Amino acid sequence: MVLAAGLGTRLRPLTDTMPKPLVPISGKPMIDHVLDLLDEAGVTTAVVNVHHFADRMEAHLSARARPRIVISDERDGLMNSGGGLAKGLKLITDEIVLVMNADLFWVGEDPEAPSNLTRLAAFFDETRMDMAMLVVPLERTTGHNGRHDFSRLDDGRLVRYREDLGEGVVYAGAFVLRRALFDDAPDEAFNLNLYFDRVIESGGLFGMVMDGEWITVGTPDAIGAAEDTIARCAGLGKRA
């Protein structure tokens, strides 16, 4: 599932006239950077939630051949990150689900190695994990606010960042989970951090460090830096 329904208020004035996932970065809408990563990893169906400029989102997504797109419609009201995921999961029958943000992606992976998403799927062990999250060191981020999200412990488990605990890492916008984890989710809007904290408490959140350079575009002035990173990685002959 791809979370794509947000308003993108920090990216105004661009998002006054288009949805954030359609803002172009290096000539390609942000969401297509994400969907191309999913396609490359062999994902054949992606649920995408829509709200802001929903008609434009649907029109754009309908033109893609791969992956097949299923729309989770939030026109009647935003469900926030957690509520949007819970609603979208009702359209999925698979027990193990990969979730991505529509505005967070990466470039510069080793073209001779398995992709980050392929590695993440293999890393996830449902016998001891509730979620497995892709994470990135701060020095390999572009457009980020400079703060760590989690500490990664020696066994790979993630906890909320503390300077005295493990390696500080940033959430890279992709995670795998057991769909049953959301069986008790409320029907109203809620933040996904509620479930992150719940899984941390049970010891079931694990992190895998990604390859390449991670990109987030939260404000208009971050677009140039993102495009510079993409061009740099392409110049090195890496996946861009």
**Tens of pLDDT along 13-32?**
999 999 999 999 999 999 99
Q: Other CB atoms closer than 10 Å to residue 69's CB: what's the count? A: 18
pLDDT of residue 238: 67
- Evaluate if residue 57 carries a pLDDT over 80: yes
What's the confidence (pLDDT) of residue 240? Answer: 65
Exposed (0-12), middle (13-18) or buried (19+): which is 225, by Cβ within 10 Å?
A: middle
The number of CA neighbours under 13 Å toward the Cβ of 112 is 1
Radius of gyration of the chain (CA): 17
Q: pTM of the full predicted structure?
A: 0.93
Domains contained in the chain, CATH given: 2-235 (3.90.550.10)
Per-residue pLDDT tens over the stretch 63-104: 999 999 999 999 999 999 999 999 999 999 999 999 999 999
